[in-house]
Structure 1
Amino acid sequence: MSDEKRNTVHAFRDDSLGEHDAVGLAEAIRRREVSPGEAARDAVARLRAVAELNAVQVPLDPPELRGGTGGVFAGVPTLIKDNTDYAGLPTGHGSAAFTPRPARRHAPFVRQFLSTGVTVLGKTRLPEFGFSPATEYEDAEPVRNPWHTGHSAGGSSGGAAALVAAGAVPLAHANDGGGSIRIPAACCGLVGLKPTRGRVVGNDQSRRLPVDLVADGVVTRTVRDSAAFLAAAERYRRNPKLPPVGLVEGPSDRRLRIGFLLDSPNGVRCDDDTRAAVTDTAAVLRGLGHDVTPVGMDLDPRFTEDFLTYWGMLSFLLGATGRTLGEGFDRHRMDGLSRGLREEYVKRWRDTPGVLRRLRRTREAYAAAFRGLDLVLTPVLAHTTPPIGRLSPAVPYPVLVERILAYVAYTPVDNVVGTPSISLPSARTTPDGLPVGVLLSGRPGAERTLLEAAFALEAERPFRRVQDI
């Protein structure tokens, strides 16, 4: 248990947002019980009420809204992660190495997100360039977890997750290149769906890289919000290469074959609290009539080192091209994690062709593990949410990277292969009262099956909420 006195922060109150999720608030707006303007103003007040979480990067005053704009989330307030362009706002990527300029146009995903009818109230914080699983900085206040402000909110979508969990907004934009939707969802007791590669509009930066790791999405407090978002995104643009998802509204009667994996494919053993959470979830799934059996995943033993080398390549490329991001870019001002990744890559850049070849072959091991299965259940993270400072970029790089690899041991596989997975709160909490997440992963295009299973778990074991502590 943390030595720091527990401090729980949330903004739930008797206003127009109440305890609505995004679907519920949109329904209230459509029934004219709440106006879009009221929802925006109350969300801004809530954002100010949880300022100690340090989760907002660029705030906006509430716009003048007099009517719905259409879309499933018409009038629902939200925020955009600060590594994604929103016209007129700077995109800082969590970095102090440059001064960002205002974006001239919306990123393609932002246009898709706006098609759902949301009202954007600003941008959320992330660790530098999204490299870290904790939203912390060398020379700035960290983003804090609303369940316990002495602990990490996760990363890289830590600002988004902290605000949604605290009730400031019902849902927020997030993206995931190694776990960055699912990790903060697990830390903050949220639902975090990483879609199949190509399910939503492609990320501008990642799709030009040799292995496209990044998928955009949202973090939410309910499964139905994640399902409604994905259905709305599909109405904006459906990828004909993937099976349609449609609107998933509840569990399926289909009996699933679910693999059950506790220790990570690269040999990291999860801690006791995490182990208990996943084991309990497996028991719940069995009780619901699903066939849950142990499974292995025979990854190349170099997978972890290869993934780290790929991250180092990304840091190297950012250091070389960062002047395009804004004024006065200086790669020497990148934080300790970014610098360490880049410096290690410079030592082994000749390995790049082999690294790319092996990473692309990961799909073969993944497919073999899924033979005869519909889903695989694992932890999201190898241990429970760490205290602030443990994963700070100020920690010496060799120590920091060792800690990261012992923490983020499950999620990167789905990024490399491009497969969907969803982080869900388990019924367990840590001795500190923090949430513990579990992960369901599927074959390419299996979002419907993931959401149906998630609905079933949510109904059987309703998710704990920070406002009920």
Structure 2
Amino acid sequence: MSDFSDLSAVELSAAIRSGEVSIDEVTTAALEKASNDVFGAFVVVAEADARVSAESAKAALAAGSQSPLLGVPCPIKDLNEVAGLPFELGSRAFGGNVGGRDDGIVTRLIRAGTIMIGKTSTPEFGLPCYTEPDVGPPARTPWDPGRSAGGSSGGAGAAVASGAVPIAQGSDGGGSIRIPASACGLVGMKPSRGVVSPGPFGVDGPGLASQGFLTMTVADTAAGLDAVAEGWPGDHFPGSGGGFLASLGEPLPRLRVGLLTTPVLVPAAPVHPESLRAAERTATLLEALGHRIEPVPPPFGPTEWEAFGAAWSVGACLAPVPPEREHLLTALTRHLRTQGQAVTGPQLASALAHAQQLERTVAKAWANVDVVLSPTLAQPPAPIGSLRNDDDPAADFLAQTAFTPWTSVYNLVGRPAISLPLHRATVDGAELPFGAMLSAPAREDHLLLRLAAELETADPWPRRAPSLL
């Protein structure tokens, strides 16, 4: 083998275990591609760390490891700490900061035998849905480099979509895995709250954010979650027990699928016809597979969503920015921090209680369906710079909300949601991907992955953008 870019993570690991390709060959190829990155995917390429990981993976291979990710390159998003590597969180205010330890998810991925080749780009503190940090170039989708790879795991999305790696770690606090999945033609899943622990150093907080992956296939997403789903002492949530990859072959019952095409957060948000087509096309496919489709209304309105806004703005205040470096923050971050500092303790407590009540509201509203289907995004991948508005950060935030009127619903209520690249269409002369998003009740991650795998088998998607073929 001379080119591994069309192999999924699970397929690549199988090729390594069979002896078709060596871990050193795979590592060298991934490092070379990452070093020649033209899509703004990487903030640092870590050759020395990658070689250390490769030696550990070779030892595990010799010992008979059957890890489905053994020897697979998997970079880490720069919101997660890796000992000895830059840890700048996409921010000039943290320029020169270096990680002092490995986050728990990094430890789990190394134990699974992955090769940590570097860190991927993120916008400042992962706050916006575009990846255009002041500390580096914007992350671009390989489907049209004039358009954003999304955010905040935009670097991870660009890394996988460009063929540098088959899987990349990401995180999702309001859609930050699913947005780049849609923009880059990939699979991206936010698991249920608590499936992936923030331990041993992090805490759950309001529970908006989940760790996960950007991948080419559903099996790779399942394998990634299996690798990191083991809990840590002191976890608040019970965990999942893993078994995601093994469950993909289990038969599915006939499901009731709710079709949601009305924007939730911004009811008047303009929705591109091809975004709607992504959901409608998926609904037709599900019907052909024997599932029943019925329309469902938004479970709540924009007023109820204000709990997310309060928690999000307070979260922006938690980054320990030295006062003398506040001026280095982007206009959007400063705006959100100002809003968060104005939220009183009782207001935050009320917002979090309201968010918990919304979990019951959503469960009641969608009690008659097993899963809910919607577009992932309201629009195609956004042109670089079209959402960012440093002159009016409030308008910037509103534009992001209109662009992503479905994604943060599931962060707020803790349900799993997955974006699948089931539709493509030509827009302004370029073929672009459009994600369809499926969600399920909390703790039904296995069911959601099995349904996603059924769709992938019925209508496989391309693993590469046309420009890279």
Same fold (TM over 0.5): yes
1:180 aligns with 2:176: yes
**What is the match of residue 60 of structure 1?**
46
- Cα displacement string for residues 92-149 of structure 1 (whole angstroms, at most 9, x for unaligned residues): 1110112343222211121122222101011001000000000013464211111110
Map of 1:118-137 to 2, 5 A cutoff?
Answer: 118-137=114-133
Secondary structure of 1:343's counterpart equals: helix
**What is the match of residue 73 of structure 2?**
77
Following superposition, the deviation at residue 60 of structure 1 comes to 1.1
Identical amino acids, percent of aligned pairs: 35
Following superposition, the deviation at residue 408 of structure 1 comes to 1.6
For structure 1, the 5+ residue unaligned runs are 1-13
Alignment coverage as a number of residue pairs: 448
Following superposition, the deviation at residue 224 of structure 1 comes to 1.1
Following superposition, the deviation at residue 30 of structure 1 comes to 0.4
**What is the match of residue 10 of structure 1?**
none
- Aligned letter for 2:35? R
**What is the match of residue 262 of structure 1?**
261
1:465 aligns with 2:466: no
Distance in 2, matches of 1:68 and 1:248, equals: 28
Distance in 1, matches of 2:24 and 2:239, equals: 39
Q: Closer, same or farther in 2 for the Cα pair 1:241/1:149, shift >3 Å?
A: closer
**Please, which of 109, 115, 130 is the counterpart of residue 111 of structure 2?**
115
Distance in 2, matches of 1:192 and 1:280, equals: 19
**Please, which of 308, 313, 328 is the counterpart of residue 333 of structure 1?**
328
Secondary structure of 1:454's counterpart equals: helix
1:136–1:393 Cα contact (<8 Å) kept: no
Secondary structure of 2:116's counterpart equals: strand
Following superposition, the deviation at residue 453 of structure 1 comes to 1.0
Following superposition, the deviation at residue 208 of structure 1 comes to 4.9
Map of 1:255-294 to 2, 5 A cutoff?
Answer: 255-266=254-265, 267-269=267-269, 270-294=271-295
**Please, which of 42, 56, 72 is the counterpart of residue 29 of structure 2?**
42
Q: Closer, same or farther in 2 for the Cα pair 1:204/1:366, shift >3 Å?
A: farther
Following superposition, the deviation at residue 206 of structure 1 comes to 6.4
2:314–2:343 Cα contact (<8 Å) kept: no
Secondary structure of 2:298's counterpart equals: coil
**What is the match of residue 93 of structure 1?**
89
**What is the match of residue 213 of structure 1?**
208
- Cα displacement string for residues 35-79 of structure 1 (whole angstroms, at most 9, x for unaligned residues): 111100011111233x22121112111416452533221111110
**Please, which of 400, 406, 413 is the counterpart of residue 404 of structure 1?**
400
Following superposition, the deviation at residue 236 of structure 1 comes to 7.3
Q: Closer, same or farther in 2 for the Cα pair 1:444/1:167, shift >3 Å?
A: same
Q: Closer, same or farther in 2 for the Cα pair 1:379/1:251, shift >3 Å?
A: farther
- Aligned letter for 1:152? S
- Cα displacement string for residues 403-444 of structure 1 (whole angstroms, at most 9, x for unaligned residues): 111112111111111111111002232423110001100111
Map of 1:148-163 to 2, 5 A cutoff?
Answer: 148-163=144-159
Which is further off, 360-369 or 197-206? 197-206
**What is the match of residue 308 of structure 2?**
307
2:421–2:434 Cα contact (<8 Å) kept: yes
Q: Closer, same or farther in 2 for the Cα pair 1:171/1:242, shift >3 Å?
A: closer
Following superposition, the deviation at residue 264 of structure 1 comes to 2.1
TM-score normalised to structure 1 length: 0.89
**Please, which of 3, 7, 19 is the counterpart of residue 32 of structure 1?**
19
- Aligned letter for 2:196? V
- Aligned letter for 1:30? R
1:427–1:464 Cα contact (<8 Å) kept: no
**What is the match of residue 420 of structure 2?**
424
Q: Closer, same or farther in 2 for the Cα pair 1:466/1:227, shift >3 Å?
A: same
- Aligned letter for 2:413? V
For structure 2, the 5+ residue unaligned runs are none
Distance in 1, matches of 2:138 and 2:452, equals: 31
1:190 aligns with 2:186: yes
Distance in 2, matches of 1:262 and 1:459, equals: 24
